[in-house]
Amino acid sequence: MSGGDMAKPLLDHRNTEGDPSITPAAGRSIGVLGSGDFARSLAIRLVCSGFKVVVGSRNPKRKASLFPSAAEVTFQAEAVKKTDVIFVAVFREHYSTLCDLADVLAGKILVDVSNNTEINHHKESNAEYLASLFPACTVVKGFNVVSAWTLQSGARDGNKQVLICSNNQEAKRIVAEIAQVMGFTPVDMGCMSSACEIENIPLRLLPAWKIPIFLALGLFLCFFTYNLIRQVIHPYIREHKNKLYKIPIEVVNTTLPCVSYVMLSLVYLPGVLAACSQLYYGTKYRRFPDWLDQWLQHRKQIGLLSFFCAALHAVYSLCLPMRRSHRYQLIETAVKQAVEKKMNIWVEEEVWRMEIYISVGIIALGLLSLLAITSLPSIANSLNWREFSCIQSTLGFIALVISTLHTLTYGWSRAFDENQYKFYLPPTYTLTLLVPCTVILAKVIFSLPCIQQRLLRIRRGWEKGRYVKFVLPSATGEYSSGETSSNV
């Protein structure tokens, strides 16, 4: 957010002072040290929530006009004297300049709102550092995960969660109460040792997306190079034909469905591997290797990227006939046929192949869209567990099967045509079939009653080699108990 933006409050305090919809708090006095962007937004939000705000600045006269008229702007020592809960809205580097206030701060609650510029920048968290500078105060870490922007827009917009931690339960409760009155949702993150983790949160850049994005880029690069060799380099070397014009659209458009299709199968492959591991070890209580755990956790992102590539493929495909090169090729073919006096160019098999191939492709894209929509938290929250797993698991698997049909009808008999093997390289779609077909085959095997039953028992807690109590009726009709291996 630019400094210019910050100068204009999102929530105009003059308009909200008389707003009856804003619930006044108990009228507690809250101190804010600092008069920067965060302090200003915080003061506005606190005033709007019914708190009395006293801002402590090194230069109160100059800064007073930036704050709502209901907030008192005074010197730092004055502000600290008048309040018991004080938000420290200054950077960590300047904490030591507050040491002169140590006596007046003694016994008060300090709320550390600071962030760092790098993950794990300092050995100890900012909050722990503040606590070491002011041992007579109680420090609470909180509000750093909300931005100045979110503070001003309050409960209507942005992140509503405020993560809080402290070694003092009472201080934590008071700060949580303040957050709640301000329209936020306080989340108790435990004791002060969590401060470092809380301070790292705003610095993370899409942590769950890194692996899926690298995976998609890696696959894109591999398939792009493969298609480039087949579609551009091969005709250049063998026939001295310049096909560079194919790179921006045709090569990209043959690469995107490959990435999308393989990524979709990679959503279901870890589930297959997990099932294999459970069947092999005969238990669900054995931890999966870390890489499989990570893979299982990234399935949603991998699926969404698969949908993204499929959507791009659909748009690229629709644009294919718009290209000038396509028009030239059409005219060229028409002229050739006219010269050869060919009247009937209709090939029934090709017509059917294309109709089925496009229709199946549209259905696959529709199913992928449904999967993508239902993975959005707002939609997912409205589904119960059975509905969610049915859509994501069953419908997802159907999408994989239909995508396979799309690929097979696209390829048709070309896999058996030796002209398609450029530099002995098989057509790209035959390579993409490997992983999805493995997944489909594994799923079919898992659905065989003998394997399905065993997997179900394992997932309900049965373990191979574990002795379980059994009860048998005796000849007299009485029941006798004994022990046996559940494996038998």
Q: Which residues sit at the interface with ligand NAP, rule CB under 6 A?
A: 34-39, 57-59, 63, 89-91, 94, 97, 113-115, 144, 147-148
Choice between 97 and 484, CB closer to ligand NAP: 97
Q: Min. distance of Cβ 37 from ligand NAP in angstroms?
A: 4
When the beta carbons of 114 and 375 are compared against ligand NAP, the nearer one is 114
Alpha helix positions (H), 201-285: 210-228, 234-239, 252-281
Query: Could you tell me the smallest distance in angstroms from the CB atom of residue 277 to ligand NAP?
Result: 43
Residue least distant from ligand NAP (Cβ): 36
User: In this structure, what DSSP letter does residue 282 have?
Assistant: T
Cβ-based nearer residue to ligand NAP, 109 or 259: 109
Sheet containing 85-88: give its strands across: 72-75, 52-57, 29-33, 85-88, 109-112, 138-141, 161-166, 185-188
* CA nearest neighbour of 256 among 203, 206, 220: 220
Any residues with CB less than 8 A from the CB of 62 and at least 6 apart, and which?
A: none
Rounded to the nearest 10 degrees, the angle between the axes of helix 290-297 and helix 252-281 is: 130
Distances in Å between the alpha carbon of 245 and those of 66, 226, 319, 331? 58, 17, 15, 18
Q: Comparing C-alpha atoms, which of 126, 143, 3 is closest to residue 86?
A: 143
CB of 377 to ligand NAP, least distance (A): 23
Q: Which residues contact 314 (CB under 8 A, 6 or more apart)?
A: 361, 365
Decide whether 199 or 250 has the Cβ nearer to ligand NAP: 199
CB contact at 8 A, 261 and 432: yes
- Compute the least distance from the CB of residue 19 to ligand NAP, in Å: 24
Give CA–CA dist 364/367, Å, rounded: 5
Q: Which is nearer to ligand NAP, 39 or 309 (CB)?
A: 39
Contact between residue 247 and residue 229 where contact means Cβ atoms under 8 Å apart: no
Shorter beta-carbon distance to ligand NAP: residue 147 or 168: 147
CB of 199 vs ligand NAP, minimal distance in Å = 9
CB of 13 to ligand NAP, least distance (A): 17
CB-nearer residue toward ligand NAP: 156 or 286: 156
- Minimum distance, C-beta of residue 255 to ligand NAP, in the bound complex (Å): 41
Q: How far is the CB of 90 from ligand NAP (least distance, A)?
A: 4
CB of 143 or CB of 261, closer to ligand NAP: 143
Q: At 473, list the tokens.
A: 């009726």
The neighbouring-strand residues paired with 85 are 30, 109
Comparison of 67 and 410: residue with beta carbon closer to ligand NAP: 67
- Beta-carbon contacts of 90 under 8 Å, excluding residues fewer than 6 positions away, are 33, 34, 36, 97, 98, 114
Per the DSSP assignment, residues forming a β-bridge with 165 are: 141
CB of 144 to ligand NAP, least distance (A): 5
Under 8 Å between Cβ of 155 and 181: no
Please say whether the beta carbons of 94 and 114 come within 8 A.
no
Comparing CB distances to ligand NAP, the nearer of 43 and 304 is: 43
